[in-house]
């Protein structure tokens, strides 16, 4: 089997699992208790907080553990909206956000907030000048993702952050796809808040973190015991936190090496597919993209059929994001880069991981070629010379 859907989730690294296991059984203490067992849990949690902070260039006390990327996005956006409701009611975001950001913004729109969704153009990149134009005296938050989960494009976060800072507006970025894959430094990037999820970087599901810069004041969503300095009450998920910390440490130790390796696989894949299959195209930006992402479109192909036939050949890939692949509407990201609905439906996302090999890539290129040819031979729409050629 070739697992090539790492943007949906990744396997837990065996070293991460090994580090987590004792915290389910012998070291099961509640981190809020005073005795040795509790202190042990607390020590493990603070070690993990340092590991997360180190990977993103933050101070440990700026890292808050949450249940994952979705929760981190919700706290950052709703927490700001709630805290600053007397200051303004306007939020700026982009057309290509993950549903965790998009749907949160839509929810706020129903509750009296104004949201500007910035276009991204056909390469899938937000223009800093568009952000500037969208700012009003009412703007309280800018939230633009670091790297897109479908087409892998990397946004000009540092520049948007500098602008936000100059205007005194909080800036949040969803960095779930980028943390552990490319360098992420909260200082360099001028961000006030940044979302992380463990299961996208070889850690367990159901655990993540929100970076909140010292001095940034937002409201919590949950109220309860004082855990995570009141920002996220609830008895801490120590095994998950330990897993997230270990995954971050491994990612930091291997960042350069993994980037180089995975991007060489990606380039081999892109070259192979575009070279071998007629009327195949790459979605997104040619270079400003994640080292592990390739998103293709094939004329006269139904993405769902392609994914199912690749599955039959042992290859796991996606049509769009895992979250949208259950819906029948085309991906909002592919529509935002200007694809026609039929082309958006004919797209395939391949997101690679460190356990993939060059042999996997060559097998995948051949498999896609074979499946695309078979599907086209059955398609009444397929025409080897496109009308507009």
Ligand X SMILES: *Cc1c(COP(=O)(O)O)cnc(C)c1O
Of the listed pieces 65-73, 299-307, 310-318, 367-375, which binds ligand X according to CB under 6 A? 65-73
200 vs 349, which CB is nearer to ligand X? Answer: 200
What sign does the CA torsion over 253, 16, 60, 77 have? positive
* Smallest distance, ligand X to C-beta of residue 93, A: 13
CB atoms near residue 263 (< 10 Å): 18
By CB under 6 A, residue 69 contacts ligand X: yes
Residue 208 in the binding site for ligand X (CB under 6 A): yes
* 323 among annotated binding-site residues: yes
* Site membership for ligand X, residue 320 (CB under 6 A): no
Query: Measured from the CB atom, is 29 or 208 closer to ligand X?
Result: 208
Question: Binding site annotation covers 199?
Answer: yes
Total residues found in the chain within this entry: 389
Q: Which 8-state DSSP code applies to residue 324?
A: T
90 belongs to an annotated ligand binding site? no
- Write the binding mask 142 to 181 for ligand X: x where contact by CB under 6 A, - elsewhere: ---x---x------------------------x-xx----
Catalytic hit among 105, 248, 323, 383: 323
170-174 and 63-66: which strand pairing?
A: unpaired
Burial pattern 181-200, b for ≥16 Cβ within 10 A else e, equals bbebebeebbbbbbbbbbbb
Residue nearest to ligand X (CB): 69
Question: How many other CB atoms sit within 10 Å of the CB of residue 127?
Answer: 15
345 is in an annotated binding site: no
Minimum gap (Å) between residue 79 Cβ and ligand X: 16
Q: Which residue has the tokens 């031979």?
A: 377
The separation between CA 75 and the C-alpha centre of its own chain, rounded to angstroms, equals: 16
Cα–Cα distance measured from residue 109 to residue 121, given in angstroms and rounded to the nearest whole number: 24
Minimum separation from the CB atom of position 68 to ligand X (A): 3
For the bound state, the minimum distance from the C-beta of residue 305 to ligand X, rounded and expressed in Å, comes to 25
C-beta of 210 vs 361, nearer to ligand X: 210
Closer of 292 and 299 to ligand X (Cβ): 292
Site for ligand X in 107-146 (CB under 6 A): 145
Judged by beta carbon, residue 143 or residue 258, the one nearer ligand X is: 143
Torsion over CA of 49, 50, 55 and 57, rounded to 10 degrees? 110
Q: Chain centroid to CA 102: how far? A: 13
Q: Is 377 annotated as a binding residue?
A: no
Annotation says 248 is catalytic: no
Which residues are CB-contacts of 39 (< 8 A; sequence separation ≥ 6)?
A: 29
121 annotated as a binding-site residue: no
Q: Which residue carries 């060059």 as its tokens?
A: 358
Distance of CA 55 to the CA centre of its chain: 16
| Whole-angstrom distance, CA of residue 219 vs CA of residue 170 | 13
Is 200 a binder of ligand X (CB under 6 A)?
yes
| Residue 70 near ligand X by CB under 6 A | yes
Please return the burial class of 81, using the count of CB atoms within 10 Å of its CB with bins 0-12, 13-18 and 19+. Answer: buried
| Sites for ligand X among residues 86-105 (CB under 6 A) | 98, 100
Going by C-alpha positions, the residue among 194, 168, 165 that lies closest to residue 53 is 194
69 annotated ligand-binding residue: yes
Residue 197 interacts with ligand X (CB under 6 A): yes or no: yes
Cβ-contact 357, 174 below 8 angstroms: no
Nearer to ligand X, 100 or 361 (CB): 100
Q: From the annotation, which residues make up the binding site for pyridoxal 5'-phosphate? A: 69-70, 149, 177, 197-199, 235
Q: Which residues bind ligand X (CB under 6 A)?
A: 68-70, 98, 100, 145, 149, 174, 176-177, 197, 199-200, 208
Which residues are known catalytic residues?
Answer: 323
């Amino acid at each position: 089997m070739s697992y090539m859907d790492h943007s949906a989730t990744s396997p837990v690294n065996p070293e991460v699992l090994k580090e987590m296991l004792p915290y389910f059984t012998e070291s099961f203490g509640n981190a809020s208790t005073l005795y040795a067992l509790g202190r042990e849990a607390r020590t493990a949690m603070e070690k993990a907080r340092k590991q997360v902070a180190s990977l993103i260039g933050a101070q440990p006390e700026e890292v808050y553990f949450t249940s994952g990327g979705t929760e981190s996005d919700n706290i950052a956006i709703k927490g700001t909206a709630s805290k600053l409701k007397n200051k303004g009611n306007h939020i700026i975001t982009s057309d290509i956000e993950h549903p965790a950001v998009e749907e949160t913004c839509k929810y706020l729109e129903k509750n009296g907030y104004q949201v500007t969704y910035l276009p991204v153009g056909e390469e899938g990149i937000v223009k800093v000048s568009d952000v500037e134009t969208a700012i009003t005296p009412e703007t309280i938050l800018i939230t633009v993702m670091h790297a897109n989960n479908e087409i892998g494009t990397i946004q000009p976060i540092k520049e948007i952050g500098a602008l936000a800072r100059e205007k005194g507006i909080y800036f949040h970025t969803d960095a779930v796809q980028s943390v552990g894959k490319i360098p992420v430094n909260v200082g360099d990037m001028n961000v006030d808040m940044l979302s992380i999820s463990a299961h996208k970087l070889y850690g367990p599901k159901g655990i993540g973190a929100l970076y909140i810069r010292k001095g940034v004041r937002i409201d919590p969503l949950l109220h309860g015991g004082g855990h995570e300095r009141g920002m996220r009450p609830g008895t801490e998920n120590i095994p998950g936190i330990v897993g997230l910390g270990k995954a971050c440490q491994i990612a930091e130790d291997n960042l350069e090496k993994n980037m180089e390796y995975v991007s060489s696989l990606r380039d081999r894949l892109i070259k192979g597919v575009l070279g071998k299959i007629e009327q195949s195209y790459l979605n997104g930006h040619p270079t400003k993209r994640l080292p592990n992402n390739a998103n293709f479109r094939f004329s006269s192909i139904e993405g769902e059929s392609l994914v199912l036939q690749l599955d039959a050949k042992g290859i796991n890939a996606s049509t769009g994001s895992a979250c949208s692949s259950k819906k029948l509407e085309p991906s909002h990201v592919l529509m935002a880069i200007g694809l026609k609905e039929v082309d958006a439906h004919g797209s395939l996302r391949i997101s690679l991981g460190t356990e993939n090999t060059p042999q996997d890539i060559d097998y995948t290129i051949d498999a896609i070629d074979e499946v695309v040819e078979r599907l086209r031979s059955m398609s009444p729409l397929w025409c080897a010379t496109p009308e507009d050629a």
